[in-house]
Structure 1
């Protein structure tokens, strides 16, 4: 295995002991074509020189790491219906390691084969699904959202049949780099089994390994998860993003966004916009995502009530809306590229009124008004109010230094472009649009993150 001195394996998951996971084996894929490898993050975890196909296609163990992959056990509410028959059905935890800031990170998979939790699924991932996840994570990272990172995407040479897309279709296996894989659903399973001892063990694991605290207090964990999930919900709105499936098994206790299926970026600020064709009730619509995440947090509270004070948990839950509002203000103001003030409520109110006119895309508005700029062509009364609120506001240092802000328009990721990228790959195995888009997204990310940040 090629590695550098920055490679720091840490098999912390094994400290949990029995009852949290099952050893499994990866599928034996006929081909291993590397389609994407995240060199930026590989450098941060000491894997720049790794044999990508060997470790993320064949899943040969990394040195001094997990000897076998682990399928994690969890339950969850799926569209508000409790399901005790889920778990890692087409993925597993492959390795754990520390990044250049000492954070414990997991290398987990999607599409790596069947596990005891696959039920009737084939354990595979379509290549289109893998491409879409890479695009989603790259775009969200550039926009400052706390997200998992797509680490490696390998085409595997199998033909898959799917009911909701043209088949047969190409297959892939994706490896993600994530800050932990402990889900709200991980606690729900233990609560379902009335396993109070393991709830305490998992809470202590999360506090120690994901938050750097040794208190072991489930109440403290709930407070931290409340803060992180409020930030996640605010980040989605500020980015104009719709996850699509905010089930409780898709909410990580670190507040890190992950597992991208029917995601979309909303073209305009439309609270009713949905990403998934099967979300017919709009449960996870753009504007309802905070409500959905708060509901999932309440399920975690119910689990922790077995081992922590119920009224204290309820008090933390009741304060979530305030945490969300504070986070939303901070993220919207930051995306405008101006310094926060003691009271940003009037500015945010004006910004939201302007966005709700739907006269311009979300990304276009933030691009044009970045750093307090007042562009031409915004004549509606709502924009006059926004212009007034921006008068005298101080831009963030270096907010407009990057040449990106002198482009004709923003880097976007709307569904038409996603489909065009996939069509080029599907029809002619042409990856140029995909590669160019990754480069454009990262350029935008550089512009969004000035040197002082």
Structure 2
């Protein structure tokens, strides 16, 4: 029997805490609204795939409220550490929470914007987004979803007709407004703001809201400690997923860490060509604070800031124990996810750990292309010869992988194509150049199709519970 179509189920949960966490705002009045990308796969999960393009533009370009959802957009308030420096002068400066709904699993989902106009937190910014930035976010979120990373999804991109001036790309450049779909926009920085302002009652309300809507738990006397432990486990899995995907977020500030462990807000991201711990994504990250190999450390540091904020309403020793759940969760997730991407069935904990250690050592020692390695060794058997695999540096990995059986999906046609689907900076720039120079969107559309095919070949992740699994 065919599955019953998902009906749109509006929600307004954020109104429970809107009095202290958000400000009503209005969207910019854009001169144009040209639909460039609509994610019907995601829309199917929230009952909006039946919208006509005209209705889609009205909601996600003109921001006419979704029926039954929020009556007006809300700019969220938060603080945060930015490159380890505390900043109380931030918040939603070029975005807002447009609406909420329930997905087919009953999860609370947010429609958040990027480039939708100025807010009380815009400071000296224009509240806009370049079209190139929107295209880059499409590519990032599609690739991450395919590689099993819990991530927001780019739901809509609409070109807005304004000419923007930016210092880091040729100007004037084209503009866009983006809508992302993800499981909440409550950040570590949301808690930091309340703690800094001494708003203990509001801090307790935010904890209760988060437990109820993101983890299906009640507050109780130990609510802050339980919440911190849950966030520790979710963010640890996210950090491990970054490493397995070869992804570098670029800006892991505490205002960019969602408490559900779902990555979002992609600026200077990159996929590392090799397993290089020092690889960075942001040109302004001169110290390598958020380099590929330091991402778990960075996310853990942000988690400690959440513990410090929650110490206003909970016992510090208990919070410290909750933070300590990050390390074991990260180590377990690294092993699990590496075996998943390699496409082998786990044996036992000892053998699994030895295999992952041997794999990482070989990848570091040889600096062979990361995506090619996982493609060539899918299922634990070498599918394509390469000089990189022939030397002594790969010998321990060959021994360690020999007892492992392949998962059932190694027969997908993707694994028989000439090489892997990758997403490195040169291709990102080439895709954008065709749009910028010729208004040709073919390369982007083709790439999204290729990425989704790769995702189907890998199979869905199953270790993310319904509170964090984006895809």
Same fold (TM over 0.5): yes
What are the Cα deviations for residues 20-79 of structure 1, in whole angstroms up to 9, with x where unaligned?
A: 100000000001111100000101100012211100100000101100000000000000
User: What displacement does 1:354 show?
Assistant: 1.4
Query: Which residue is equivalent to 1:104?
Result: 108
Tell me the secondary structure at the aligned position of residue 122 of structure 2: coil
Report the count of equivalent residues. 449
The normalised TM-score by structure 2 is 0.94
Name 1:75's counterpart in structure 2: 79
Q: 1:247 aligns with which of 250, 253, 258?
A: 253
Q: CA RMSD in A?
A: 1.3
Q: What displacement does 1:210 show? A: 0.7
Measured in 1, the distance between the counterparts of 2:329 and 2:151 equals 19
Shift of 1:380: 1.8
In the other structure, the counterpart of 1:416 is: 426
2:166: which partner in 1? Answer: 162
Q: Contact 1:350–1:382 (CA<8 Å) still a contact in 2?
A: no
Tell me the CA shift for residue 452 of structure 1: 9.3
Q: Which residue of 2 aligns with 1:435?
A: 445
Q: Distance in 1 between matches of 2:398 and 2:271?
A: 26
SS at structure 1 position matched to 2:427: helix
Instruction: Assess if the C-alpha contact under 8 Å between 1:90 and 1:110 holds in 2.
Output: yes
**DSSP-derived class of the 2:374 partner:** helix
Structure 2 residue corresponding to 1:256, chosen from 226, 245, 262: 262
In 1, the alpha carbon distance for the partners of 2:462 and 2:310 equals 40
Hey, what's the Cα distance between the residues in 2 that align with 1:174 and 1:5?
A: 23
CA distance in 2, matches of 1:451, 1:322: 20
Q: Which residue in the other structure is 2:396 paired with?
A: 385
Q: CA deviation at 1:381?
A: 1.3
The aligned residue for residue 91 of structure 1 is 95
State which of 321, 332, 339 in structure 2 corresponds to 1:333: 339
Does 1:202 find its partner at 2:199? no
Matched, 1:189 2:193: yes
Is the 8 Å Cα contact of residues 154 and 174 (structure 1) preserved in structure 2? yes
Q: CA deviation digits over 1:385-412, x for unaligned, max 9? A: 111111121212x230210000111000
Q: State the structure with bigger RCO (CA 8 A, min sep 6), 1 or 2.
A: 2
* Partner SS state of residue 411, structure 2: coil
Task: Look up the SS of the partner of 1:96 in the other structure.
Answer: strand
Q: Per-residue displacement from partner, 1:119-174 (whole Å, max 9, x unpaired)?
A: 00000000000000000000000000000000000000000000111100000000
TM-fit CA distance, 1:231:
0.3
Alignment partner, residue 119 of structure 2: 115
Deviation at 1:358, TM superposition (A): 4.0
Contact 1:268 1:358 in 2 (8 A): no
Mapped to 2, the partners of 1:5 and 1:336 lie a distance apart of: 34
CA separation in 2, counterparts of 1:260 and 1:84? 21
Task: Decide whether the 8 Å contact of 2:6 with 2:104 is kept in 1.
Answer: no
CA pair 451-205 structure 1, distance change in 2 beyond 3 A: closer
Contact 1:20 1:73 in 2 (8 A): yes
| TM-score normalized with structure 1 length | 0.97
Segments of 4+ in structure 1 off by > 4 A? Answer: 450-453
Superposed, which structure 2 residues align to 1:124-273 within 5 Å? 124-216=128-220, 217-273=223-279
Residues 389 and 215 of structure 1: CA distance in aligned 2, closer, same or farther (over 3 Å): same
- Shift of the 334–92 alpha-carbon distance from structure 1 to 2, 3 Å rule, reads same
Distance of 2:216 and 2:458 partners within structure 1: 28
Give the SS at the match of 1:258.
coil
Gaps of at least 5 residues in structure 1 are none
Distance 1:170 1:52 in 2: 21
Aligned to 1:20: 21
Secondary structure, counterpart of 2:373 in structure 1:
helix
| Whole-Å separation in 2 of the counterparts to 1:171 and 1:319 | 42
CA distance in 1, matches of 2:326, 2:38: 37
Give the alignment partner of residue 352 of structure 1, picking from 357, 360, 369: 360
Instruction: Give 1:214 shift.
Output: 1.6
Query: For 1:206 and 1:226, how far apart are their aligned partners in 2?
Result: 14
> Cα distance 1:237–1:450, how it changes in 2: closer, same or farther (>3 A)?
closer
Query: Which range moved further: 70-79 or 353-362?
Result: 353-362
Are the counterparts in 2 of residues 270 and 358 from structure 1 also a CA contact under 8 Å? no
Residues 427 and 368 from structure 1, CA distance in 2 versus in 1: closer, same or farther, beyond 3 angstroms? same
Deviation of the 1:5 alpha carbon: 5.4
